[in-house]
Amino acid sequence: MPRILLVEDETSIADTLVYALETEHFEVCHTTTAGEALEKLHHHFDLAILDVGLPDMSGFDLCSEIRKSSSLPVLFLTARDSEIDRILGLELGGDDYVTKPFSPREVAARVRAILRRMGNPPPPPTSEPSTLNHNPSAMTISCHGKPLNLTAHEYKLLAALMSQPGRIFTREQILIKAWDDPGSAMDRTVDAHIKSLRAKIRAQTPEGKDPIETRRGLGYTLNPDSL
């Protein structure tokens, strides 16, 4: 049974979620504070559901704390549009979000979708395993045979670079490829996502190298040797 860590201080919301998730055969560990959640982190979990408005720490800060030691998939529960902007605009390492009020079934469906995405079996190893491997139908990219835990923007960005290895993409071209509304994003948004993407790839690469090259004043390109 997949184990879920639920961090939500509103008891009524938590109770409905616990009930819905348990009905769908998830095992749920519920805490009402970020502090309590951090203490439980040494247990094995498959996914964390974090309320953004927690009494002792924001769900965003809790996510950053979790990210220091684990790549546990994170689903945010948000109450305000301004929080969604933060989830999408900043590199928080979250995997998805749902806005309150939500139906518990919707949350359970999102949880299942994330777990399916994460558990997508890596492609069978060839004689020389490639560094990066794109599975477009599952919308996953694996690095050294292990799926990368990417946000939607990171995924689209890396998929764009992988579509034409060796080609230099300007920041503007990357924005058009990876953002639905490129006008609202800025060049430094691309830089921030490239930075987090590199960190994720390096974490899964034995030599700690990353295949994305910066061409100063021009943009970014993917080293063709990485495919």
Chain positions contacting Ca ion, by CB under 5 A: 9, 51, 53
| Beta carbon nearer to Ca ion, 104 or 129 | 104
Asked whether 136 and 123 are in contact (CB, 8 A), the reply is no
Task: Please report how close the Cβ of residue 13 comes to Ca ion at its closest, in angstroms.
Answer: 8
Task: Please report how close the Cβ of residue 77 comes to Ca ion at its closest, in angstroms.
Answer: 8
| Beta carbon nearer to Ca ion, 54 or 143 | 54
By beta-carbon distance, which residue lies closest to Ca ion? Answer: 53
Task: Please report how close the Cβ of residue 216 comes to Ca ion at its closest, in angstroms.
Answer: 44
Asked whether 151 and 94 are in contact (CB, 8 A), the reply is yes
| Beta carbon nearer to Ca ion, 35 or 53 | 53
| Beta carbon nearer to Ca ion, 12 or 126 | 12
Task: Please report how close the Cβ of residue 9 comes to Ca ion at its closest, in angstroms.
Answer: 5
